[in-house]
Amino acid sequence: MVGAAIQRRLTWQVAQVSAHVRDTPRCWRISLDVELGAWLPGQHIDVRLTASDGYQAQRSYSIASAPEERTLDLVVERLDDGEVSPYLTDELRAGDAIELRGPIGGYFVWQAGLGGPVQLIAGGSGVAPFLAMLEHHQAAGSDARLSLLYSARAEDDIIARERLDEHAQRAGVEIDITLTREAPDGWKGRIGRVDAAMLAEAVIPASEQPQVFVCGPTAFVEGVAEALVAQGHAPAVVKTERFGG
């Protein structure tokens, strides 16, 4: 069935880092060479680190590349008090190896075969799974309408800016970015937090019955989901993925 999760036993395996690139002041894109088989756009993996004394820490990261691509990419935001992200961003280098398992998840996924319209709403690094969906949309030659509303703090914090600009030029794809803290002179996008008024103006209306995906910090996701339902979107079609407290 299209969109169904691949059910199999998850085992830890070693992946080699093929690229480690700083994308924004706080986010890195990490490309991994690993034999996971096909994944679905929107799925995630677990990453595990093991210290010399045996202590282990693990975190989940959305896959930021399409299954048609050669590498599995992650977007990692550096958290100053984090156990895993400081190592992945500051210490990891191309050629190093890390442990991971996956892919995981079958609820928060979209494939070209599901059609559209599709509305994506991201806060900060929550854009990661939507990068995979956008890349898959292009690779599959999909004609489904796909719209992304993306909230970032400042222009420098826009993840994968060049690729988003390229996607915005494709037929059927809409990229709408809003800056919440600082906008440069000449900024042509939106300014301000994603609230009910912005959603009513920028999101594919409920009357068109879009599939809706919301990803970002917990407070962002909960506020957006509540507003969407209040505006007539059926709770069953508003799929959410969140991180943080």
Q: Is 94 helix (H, G, I), strand (E, B) or coil?
A: coil
Tens digits of pLDDT across the chain (245 residues): 344 444 457 899 999 999 999 999 999 999 999 988 789 999 999 999 998 899 999 999 999 999 999 899 999 999 998 899 999 999 999 999 999 999 999 999 999 999 999 999 999 999 999 999 999 999 999 999 999 999 999 999 999 999 999 999 999 999 999 999 988 888 989 999 999 999 999 999 999 999 999 999 999 999 999 999 999 999 999 999 998 75
- Kindly tell me the burial class for residue 86, based on how many C-beta atoms sit within 10 Å of its own C-beta (0-12, 13-18, 19 or more): middle
Q: Is 216 helix (H, G, I), strand (E, B) or coil?
A: strand
pLDDT score for 3: 42
- What is the spatial distance between Cα 220 and Cα 217, in angstroms, rounded to a whole number? 5
pLDDT score for 196: 97
Q: What is the pTM of this model?
A: 0.93
Q: Identify whether the C-beta of residue 162 lies closer than 8 Å to the C-beta of residue 133.
A: no
For residue 87, give both structure tokens: 């190592």
Q: Is 77 helix (H, G, I), strand (E, B) or coil?
A: strand
pLDDT score for 70: 86
Domains recognised in the chain with CATH numbers: 13-104 (2.40.30.10), 112-243 (3.40.50.80)
pLDDT score for 245: 57
Of 140, 134, 210, the residue nearest 173 (C-alpha) = 134
Residues pairing with 19 in the sheet: 31
pLDDT score for 98: 95
Q: Tell me: the pLDDT tens digits for 157-193?
A: 999 999 999 999 999 999 999 999 988 888 989 999 9
For residue 243, give both structure tokens: 């991180």
- What is the spatial distance between Cα 22 and Cα 77, in angstroms, rounded to a whole number? 10
